[in-house]
Amino acid sequence: MAAREIIVAVTGASGAVYAGRLLRALLQDGHRVHLVLSQYGRYLLIEELGYAPDLESVVEFLNRLYGDRVRRGSLHQYRVGDLAAPLASGSARIHGMAVVPCSMKTLAGIAHGLSTNLIERAADVTLKERRPLVLVPRETPLSLVHLRNLTAVAEAGGTLVPAMPAFYQRPGSFDDLGDFIAGRVLDVMGIEHDLYPRWQGPWREPQPPAVTTPP
Ligand SMILES: Cc1cc2nc3c(=O)[nH]c(=O)nc-3n(C[C@H](O)[C@H](O)[C@H](O)COP(=O)(O)O)c2cc1C
């Protein structure tokens, strides 16, 4: 499919694997990624996936992590404090935005239209331009404050893909779990992928061939 311009924001909730697998999938399929890491999103990439920002770019990190080439697409990175970046304007040619994973703090900022940093502003722009905005929130248990903020984003047109992978596809690794959530994010955005096997209906016992009795 044609290359898309996608904003990916990584914030400080556990679940960096979801961001890693989404970035890998988008870049492998030739899409153009506009990446914003919050301070704690960067920290979670370091803690959970071993990103070494002083030694490598994000693309080099993904290649090292997944052992395959993700250079078909392109990745442009922006500072989270750069409110003058192109992404801060509705005039930027953007297909959609994913916040993966999405902390309760960033969720609150988006739900209330705060735009205090580039992630919140780009999400605000995505909503007002009626482009797909997908949040992957991760927190447990959820307070009433969290639930109200989730509802506010859904009412404003955002889609919530909670970090709740399924198990019917029998995941064998963390990457499989990451691919399931990454695939659900891409489904919402209408971007083709083969990150997880689609549900084909329940497994059934093979039936013996019908016995035909002679007349
Ligand atoms: C190791 C670690 C794990 C965290 N996990 C979560 C989490 O799963 N969900 C969440 O909402 N906040 C989590 N937090 C707290 C957020 O990182 C914190 O609220 C931060 O201010 C979020 O800022 P950001 O949204 O700008 O990244 C975690 C923090 C740390 C240090």
In testing the pocket of ligand 1, which one of 18, 35, 40 has its CB within 8 Å of the most ligand atoms?
40
Tell me the chain's radius of gyration from C-alpha atoms: 20
- Does residue 114's CB lie within 6 angstroms of at least one atom of ligand 1? no
C-alpha to C-alpha distance for 49 and 45, rounded to whole angstroms: 5
Q: Which domains does the chain have, with CATH numbers?
A: 5-189 (3.40.50.1950)
Q: What is the pLDDT of residue 20?
A: 98
149 lines ligand 1 (CB under 6 A): no
Q: Kindly report whether the global pTM for this prediction surpasses the value 0.85.
A: yes
Burial of 172 (0-12, 13-18, 19+ CB in 10 A): exposed
Which atom in ligand 1 lies closest to the alpha carbon of residue 103? 11
Burial of 13 (0-12, 13-18, 19+ CB in 10 A): buried
**β-sheet bridge partners, residue 36:** 9, 78
- Tens of pLDDT, residues 98-125: 999 999 999 999 999 999 999 999 999 9
Structure confidence by residue, pLDDT tens digits, 167-208: 988 999 999 999 999 999 999 999 999 999 888 887 777 777
Tell me, in angstroms, the distance from the centre of ligand 1 to residue 152's CA. 20
- Provide the pLDDT for residue 205: 76
> Which of these, 44, 141, 166, 28, lies nearest to 99 by C-alpha position?
44
pLDDT in tens, 129-170: 999 999 999 999 999 999 999 999 999 999 999 999 999 889
The tens digit of pLDDT for each residue in 62-77 reads 999 998 777 677 999 9
Closest ligand 1 atom to 11 CA? 27
Counting every residue written for the chain, the total comes to 215
Query: Residue 193 has what pLDDT?
Result: 95
User: pLDDT of 85-99, one tens digit each?
Assistant: 999 999 999 999 999
